[in-house]
Structure 1
Amino acid sequence: MMSEILTQAEIDALLSADYKAEDSGQTKLTDWEKDAIGEIGNISFGSAATSLSALLNQRVEITTPYVELTSKNKISEDHPAPCLQVEVSYTEGIDGANVLIIQQHDAKIIANLMMGGDGKPEGDELTEIDISAVSEAMNQMMGGSATALSTIFGKMVNISPPITQTIDLSESTINGVLSSEELVVKVAFRMVIGNLIDSVIMQLLPLDFFRELVSMLTGNIEEVSHVKQTTPTPTNTKERHTEPQAVFSETQSSPNVANTVDYQMAQFSELDTTQNQTHNHNIGLIMDVPLEITVELGRTKKKIKDILSFGTGSIIELDKMAGETFDILANGKVIAKGEVVVINENFGVRITNILTPMERVQKLQ
């Protein structure tokens, strides 16, 4: 009878909501589930970082995520500073939604970069224009993530435009798609943008959506494994060789599978030296194809705010020096250099240099 008496620690554990959640087996994350969602996040946010880098013209790094099961109240306690909440829903391929939490200061820097700034805004308060700019950045970022998910799951994945709002976690809790959730899966990434941001971005997933993603990944792995195991061995061969068992670990556990591989030597036809002559004759078939010839005076890059300030009489400085030769392009490809001349009342171009194939390749690079 004495062995059936509960200790005070056991009584406290039974009364704890956390104990009930873990003991149910339905809300405790296994190591496999953490690794699975971490790998999904690692690949998808790697693509998201590439998209964000191109958009901000800054080096963007997102590190391997940290995954844990937590509560919304715990997140509010750990991150009381004002944040930007970005809710992204999936419209095709995946049924669910997730929430991104970005610190307000980081969002202000991203918005500043989006609008052509130097990433050093004055103050942290977000205006409607700032929120709109960050929403577009998150849209492009999660679009890159959706493309990566399409590759992972082998089907098209699309998202809806994000719903963005500011939230003070010290005064309220996370809402939106997580309004009815008590426990959420937090996937935390370290995000580095140039030398401007070194912070943490959080992805919050409803528990059911998290389970669905893990299930989809597991099913995809099993399907690929099944295809590998059922791939037939070629039979039409000229030579048969016995390979060591260590080369094919998948067959080691099955004693009924022969450790042999059938293959045949690749056959290559002899080179025909008359083919080049034939091609030279065939070039006459395309002699009448028209090409668009363009002379490029020069190029330059301007920020949106500079372009909006253009008016009649504005002068745009190009990357060409006075007296320098101009590029001559055929269908958008540089083929020669030349100088501008005047013929009667029309402009013309005198070719001064025909680019070699190597020079054309260097010009493209």
Structure 2
Amino acid sequence: MLNRKIFSNMERDVIGEVMNISLGSSATSLSSILGKRVEITVPHINVTTAQEFSYKQLEPAIGVEINYIEGLKGVNVMIWKRSDAKIILEALLNKKIPDEEFEMDEISISAICEVMNQMMGSAATALSEFLGKHINISTPIAFEIDDNNEFKSKYFAEDDEIVVVSFDLSIEGEVQSQFINVMEVSLAKEIVSNFLRETEKSTSIEIQTEENDNIEKEDAVNKKIDTIIKQNNDYEEIIKRERMKTNQNKKEKEETFVNVRPVEYESFDDEEEVLSEEQLSNLELIMLVPLTISVEIGKTSKQIKDILEISPGTIIELDKQAGALVDIIVNGKLIAKGEVVVVNDNFGVRVV
């Protein structure tokens, strides 16, 4: 354990909140893949050295390397129990694998990489929205950790300071376990600085927006006053011309009747429209009309011959990336976008 304090309490809270939101999206993605309820709890953060870092509670373990290639710079390494990876594979394949037959061969590694790709894709999307910048990651690389020292030396020097974020993992009816997320201090500090910069920017925009609103309101009032003055001047000019015409007509004709009446100025007060009882009744009837709400996660086009070949187990690739926002459609019209969530074992969508 390090003696000096690298992160303030506020910075630790930021790291915890960022990881909580990003890995929360990963839980939703994993739940969609497995068809089971998945929960990832609020993280526990520990700052230590690579030499002191230990993950014995997860051994035998597998590692998953995630490289940030846009938006952030650094490497994120996730460490999972080998037994948890086996359970996830069993859920994907819908069959039990005896312990003696399970091995991290090419097929197993490929399947784990695909699961991690979708999970971390969702995490990157959530992180992008949270930090206000585009975040992109490389395809995750999964591997079995055979040698502890070799694993550590691959990513860190012995005296390197690292951030270890631990999560409790729950998969409905299958897993009550834990996994670890490890990153360099520099990557954690970059995440914190990006978050604080985005927060300051949002605050500045809110203040500027409020000032702009006040200026716009003041300009609108001034324009309305100018309009009233101009209209008054126009009315006075009209009256003046009419009087001159009347005097001229009196000279030409001894008796000419002139209908003179006060000028009626246009009202500038907005009158609130009041609905009649019939309109209110019609509105109530409209409110009772049921509309169909559908959520579209993606779409694609296939040739008829490809469609005829579809059978149980066929995977159809859609036009949206994992973790992307879904379309919320009412009666064929797009009204909003949202993200898929799990509510009491049912799928739902959170409008964003």
TM-score using structure 2 length: 0.58
| Pair 171,228 (structure 1): closer, same or farther in 2 beyond 3 Å | closer
1:127 to 78, 96, 105: 105
Gaps of 5+ in 1: 1-16, 239-263, 277-300, 309-331, 334-365
Q: Distance in 1 between matches of 2:164 and 2:51?
A: 12
How many equivalent residue pairs? 234
Q: Does 1:151 align with 2:126?
A: no
The one-letter amino acid paired with 1:57 is G
The one-letter code of the counterpart of 1:197 is V
Letter in 1 for 2:73: D
What is the aligned-residue RMSD (CA, Å)?
A: 3.4
Structure-2 separation of matches of 1:153 and 1:79: 33
Counterpart in the other structure of 1:219: 197
Whether the aligned pair in 1 keeps the contact of 2:12 and 2:45 (CA below 8 Å) is yes
Matched, 1:104 2:82: yes
Alignment of 1:1-365 (within 5 A): 18-19=2-3, 22=4, 28-76=6-54, 78-79=56-57, 81-117=59-95, 121-123=98-100, 125-168=103-146, 170=148, 172-178=150-156, 182-230=160-208, 231-232=210-211, 233-234=213-214, 235=217, 304=313
Question: Cα gap change, 1:265/1:171 in structure 2, threshold over 3 Å: closer, same or farther?
Answer: farther
- Read off the aligned partner of 1:192 and give its amino acid letter: S
> Within 1, Cα distance between the matches of 2:196 and 2:152?
30
Alpha-carbon deviation of 1:270? Answer: 6.5
From the superposition, tell whether residues 268 and 126 of structure 1 become closer, same or farther in structure 2 (CA, over 3 Å). Answer: farther
Higher relative contact order (CA 8 A, sep 6+): 2
| Distance in structure 1 (CA, Å) of the matches to 2:90 and 2:62 | 15
- What is the deviation of 1:169? 5.4
Report if the CA contact (8 A) 2:41-2:167 is conserved: yes
Aligned-partner Cα distance in 2 for 1:69–1:267: 62
Distance 1:167 1:145, change over 3 A: same
| Kept in 2: contact 1:108–1:126 (CA 8 A) | no
Q: Secondary structure at the match of 2:178?
A: strand
CA change 1:64–1:268 in 2 (3 A) is farther
1:328 corresponding residue in structure 2? none
Q: CA deviation at 1:218?
A: 0.7
Per mean C-alpha deviation after superposition, the further-off stretch among 210-219 and 165-174 is: 165-174
| Percentage of pairs with the same residue | 33
Q: What CA deviation, in whole Å up to 9, does each residue of 1:230-275 have, x standing for no partner?
A: 222442589xxxxxxxxxxxxxxxxxxxxxxxxx9996697998xx
**Aligned partner of 1:31: which letter?**
N
Max radius of gyration: which structure?
A: 2
Change (3 A) 1:270 1:66: same
Letter in 2 for 1:38: G
Q: Which has the higher helix share?
A: 2
TM-score, normalization: structure 1?
0.56
Instruction: Describe the superposition over 1:257-305 as per-residue Cα deviations: whole angstroms up to 9, x where unpaired.
Output: xxxxxxx9996697998xx9xxxxxxxxxxxxxxxxxxxxxxxx9753x
Displacement after TM superposition at 1:159 (Å): 0.9
The separation in 1 between residues aligned to 2:271 and 2:125, in whole angstroms, is 37
Q: Secondary structure at the match of 1:174?
A: helix
Asked if the contact 1:59–1:194 (Cα under 8 Å) also holds between the matched residues in 2, the reply is: yes
Aligned residue number for residue 264 of structure 2: none
**Structure 2 unpaired stretches of 5+:** 222-268, 283-309, 316-330, 333-352
Structure 1 position 132, deviation (Å): 1.3
1:62 is matched by which residue type in structure 2? I
Once residues 265 and 176 of structure 1 are traced to their aligned partners in structure 2, the CA distance between those partners, rounded to angstroms, is 72
CA distance in 1, matches of 2:120, 2:128: 12
Matched residues in 2 for 1:79 and 1:169: separation? 15
**How far is the alpha carbon of 1:197 from its aligned partner?**
1.0
- 8 A Cα contact 1:112 1:121, kept in partner: no
Query: How much has 1:58 moved relative to structure 2?
Result: 1.3
Indicate if the aligned counterparts of 1:34 and 1:68 stay in contact, CA closer than 8 A: no
Q: Structure 1 residues 209, 185: closer, same or farther in 2, change over 3 A?
A: same
- Distance in 1 separating the partners of 2:154 and 2:181: 14
User: Are the equivalent residues in 1 in contact too, given 2:169–2:179 (CA < 8 A)?
Assistant: yes
Gap change, CA 1:266 and 1:104, over 3 Å in 2: farther
Are the aligned partners of 2:72 and 2:187 in contact in 1 as well (CA < 8 Å)? no
C-alpha contact (below 8 Å) 1:112/1:130 kept by paired residues: no
Counterpart-to-counterpart distance in 2, 1:171 and 1:102: 17
1:148 alignment partner, SS class? helix
